[in-house]
């Protein structure tokens, strides 16, 4: 399989992944809403509900971040920039894309970005 063919095969994979993530995000939002509705009533354990909604909230947060990354990746596929590192512009290795199809940066730039984030925190 050539790089171009591989990237084409990722398109449907990303679209499917996006659909799944969007679906589970919807479920989590419903769950958050019902946890909220329950805590408005006077039954149930508020401590457990607060904890549960925090967990669901975190999950929803990481999924909405992933969904945004997937949508960015699909946009880059559409524009023809997919597979090039956002920072250095070099092609992202196929092995990395196989592991993380929505990767926007090569490993080196991603590490630089993350260590910068750690320093900034």
Closest approach, Cβ 106 to Zn ion, in A, equals 4
Q: Considering the complex, state which of residue 37 and residue 79 has its C-beta at the smaller distance from Zn ion.
A: 79
Give the 3-state secondary structure of residue 35.
helix
Give the interface size with Zn ion as a residue count (CB under 5 A).
5
Q: Does 31 bind Zn ion (CB under 5 A)?
A: no
Query: Angle CA(22)–CA(14)–CA(73) in degrees, nearest 5?
Result: 95
Q: Considering the complex, state which of residue 22 and residue 96 has its C-beta at the smaller distance from Zn ion.
A: 96
Cα separation, 15 vs 93, in Å, equals 21
DSSP state of 91: B
Q: Does 106 bind Zn ion (CB under 5 A)?
A: yes
């Amino acid at each position: 399989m050539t790089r171009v063919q591989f990237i084409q095969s990722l398109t449907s994979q990303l679209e499917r992944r996006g659909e799944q993530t969007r679906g589970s995000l919807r479920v989590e939002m419903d769950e958050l809403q019902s946890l909220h509705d329950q805590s408005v009533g006077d039954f149930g354990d508020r401590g457990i509900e607060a904890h549960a909604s925090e967990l669901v909230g975190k999950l929803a947060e990481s999924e909405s971040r992933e969904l945004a990354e997937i949508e960015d990746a699909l946009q880059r596929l559409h524009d023809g920039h997919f597979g090039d590192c956002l920072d250095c512009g070099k092609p992202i290795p196929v092995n990395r894309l196989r592991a993380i199809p929505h990767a926007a940066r090569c490993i080196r730039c991603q590490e630089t970005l993350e260590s910068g984030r750690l320093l900034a925190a």
